[in-house]
């Protein structure tokens, strides 16, 4: 055995990870459901899962056809594609620019769009280009990824198990009293995470409300990180489809989009991030930093998948995905109307595929989770898992099949 000279020190881990809850919220739920199913092998009903926001409808024909064609291209010398361009193929970036931005009167260029494998990666990775001491603000309740990615980066301070908050994070309560829309925080943040249409509350900001936030961010020198993964579900007028509909957003906002919820790409993986070239800290362009990061750490979404993304914007693609959205929103309407009919107080479900339910008096979020699982064999998500202001609420998704939704609601009504 070789004896090395010098004092050895054991390798060390990134201790910020130790500040995270042991499991991601949905892994915890899955464990509970598994334990319940094991303990009750002869259940009368099968368990219906309306917890995690995963789609259930198959990919539309226009996408399947394009996928087949793109696979065939990969088998021919003349049409084979190797590494994709780091920032995305021009054909997809142009389709996004025209349909999602210029078609809505927003001045976004194709080279301000970065194609990726989904919004979750981008909205968790984006914090890397900001200083370590950036002060972040999040809505409470919040999609956990914004917070957890900042915990990993060491930006959130100490966890307080009493308040269930991190010491250095600015929490913006989104509660019934403020119609689930955040108010300007007392302390000024550097980074403001927004998700509209909102997961988990299903709420929206009107264009006038979002404009106020854009004005605020430009005034205090903050960046709005705007996750619009559920944009396709907006049904009401006067709701912005992109933050770039607001004047001044080019100097203060980054937008994240996903193909997961509008076109069922949760298992296919495709998304994009928009960083306008006007967005700067002093004379440093965030667009350039993200370009650098993307070029170093990312090798591009697959050609086949980007072709499928382009098919979403074809006229057949658009009409077929609209049918799916109508399908899920019918589910949302059933959940809202039926639960209201038996006395539940429900929010959301109009511009978003999420329904935010007030738990019955005397029951907290996890108690209602257990009650629903035991009595209706239905799985939802406890609101408190999204933050302290989510306590006393419960989230159901409209992404199930219509048959499952109807059955789940019937069972809940009978409890």
Ligand X SMILES: Cc1ncc(COP(=O)(O)O)c(C=O)c1O
Residue 140: exposure state from Cβ atoms within 10 A (0-12, 13-18, ≥19): buried
Q: Provide, rounded to whole angstroms, the least separation between the CB of residue 266 and ligand X.
A: 5
Q: Shortest Cβ distance from residue 227 to ligand X (Å)?
A: 5
Q: To the nearest whole angstrom, how small is the minimum distance from the Cβ of residue 300 to ligand X?
A: 16
Within 137-176, which residues bind ligand X (CB under 6 A)? 143
Binding of ligand X at residue 318 (CB under 6 A)?
A: no
* 229 belongs to the binding site for ligand X (CB under 6 A): yes
Residue among 366, 363, 402 at smallest CA distance from 381: 366
When the beta carbons of 196 and 344 are compared against ligand X, the nearer one is: 196
CB of 162 to ligand X, least distance (A): 28
The DSSP code for 184 is P
The kind and range of the H/E element at 136 are strand 136-140
In the 3-class helix/strand/coil scheme, how is 320-387 assigned residue by residue? HHHHHHHHHHHHHHHHHHHHHHCCCCEEECCCCCEEEEECCCCCCHHHHHHHHHHHHCEECEEHHHHC
Candidate list 49, 93, 120, 155; residue touching ligand X; CB under 6 A: 120
Give dist(CA 40, CA 284) in Å, integer.
59
Nearest residue to 258 (alpha-carbon basis) of 121, 124, 125, 119:
119
Residue of 112, 140, 227, 407 interacting with ligand X (CB under 6 A): 227
How far is Cα 204 from Cα 195, in angstroms, rounded to an integer? Answer: 9
Min dist CB 117 to ligand X, Å, is 7
Instruction: Work out whether 317 is an interface residue with ligand X (CB under 6 A).
Output: no
Q: Select the residue interacting with ligand X from 63, 126, 165, 195 (CB under 6 A).
A: 195
Q: Would you report the helix, strand and coil content of the chain in percent, each value rounded to 5? A: 45, 15, 40
Counting residues that bind ligand X (by CB under 6 A) gives: 13
Cβ-proximal residue to ligand X, closest one? 118
The DSSP string of 1-18 is: -PPPPS--------GGGG
Question: Applying CB under 6 A, which part among 35-43, 117-125, 247-255, 299-307 lies near ligand X?
Answer: 117-125
Which of 149, 190, 199, 365 contacts ligand X by CB under 6 A?
199
Q: Using CB under 6 A, which residues numbered 231 to 290 contact ligand X?
A: 258, 260, 266, 271
Q: Binding residues for ligand X, per CB under 6 A?
A: 53, 118-120, 143, 195, 199, 227, 229, 258, 260, 266, 271
């Amino acid at each position: 055995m070789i004896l090395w000279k010098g004092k050895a020190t054991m390798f060390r881990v990134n201790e910020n990870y130790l500040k995270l809850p042991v499991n991601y919220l949905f892994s915890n739920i899955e464990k509970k459901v598994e334990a319940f199913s094991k303990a009750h092998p002869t259940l009368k009903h099968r368990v219906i899962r309306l917890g995690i926001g995963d789609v259930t409808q198959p990919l539309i024909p226009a996408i399947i056809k394009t996928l087949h064609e793109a696979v065939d291209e990969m088998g021919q010398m003349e049409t084979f594609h190797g590494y994709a361009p780091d920032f995305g193929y021009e054909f997809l970036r142009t389709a996004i620019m025209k349909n999602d931005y210029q078609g809505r009167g927003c001045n976004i260029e194709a080279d301000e769009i970065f194609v990726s494998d989904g919004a979750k990666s981008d909205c968790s990775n984006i914090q890397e280009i900001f200083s370590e001491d950036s002060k972040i603000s999040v809505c409470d309740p919040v999609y956990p990824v914004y917070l957890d990615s900042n915990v990993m980066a060491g930006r959130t301070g100490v966890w307080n198990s009493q308040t269930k908050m991190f010491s250095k994070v600015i929490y913006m309560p989104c509660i019934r009293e403020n119609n689930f829309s955040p108010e300007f925080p007392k302390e000024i943040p550097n980074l403001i995470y927004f998700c509209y249409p909102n997961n988990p509350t299903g709420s929206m900001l009107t264009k006038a409300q979002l404009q106020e936030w854009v004005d605020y961010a430009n005034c205090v020198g903050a960046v709005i990180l705007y996750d619009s993964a559920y944009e396709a579900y907006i049904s009401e007028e006067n709701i912005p489809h992109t933050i770039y509909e607001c004047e001044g957003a080019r100097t203060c906002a980054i937008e994240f989009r996903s193909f997961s919820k509008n076109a069922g790409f949760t298992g296919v993986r495709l998304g994009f991030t928009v960083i306008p070239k006007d967005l700067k800290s002093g004379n440093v362009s965030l667009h350039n930093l993200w370009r650098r990061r993307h070029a170093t750490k990312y090798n591009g979404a697959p050609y086949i998948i980007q072709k499928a993304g382009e098919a979403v914007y074809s006229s057949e693609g658009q009409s077929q995905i609209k049918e799916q959205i109508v399908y899920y929103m019918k589910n949302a309407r059933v959940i809202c109307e039926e639960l209201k009919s038996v006395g539940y107080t429900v929010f959301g479900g109009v511009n978003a595929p999420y329904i935010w339910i007030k738990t019955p008096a005397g029951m907290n979020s996890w108690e209602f989770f257990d009650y629903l699982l035991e009595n209706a064999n239905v799985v939802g998500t406890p609101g408190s898992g999204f933050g302290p202001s989510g306590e006393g609420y419960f989230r159901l998704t409209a992404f199930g099949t219509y048959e499952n939704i109807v059955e789940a609601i019937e069972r809940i009504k009978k409890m």
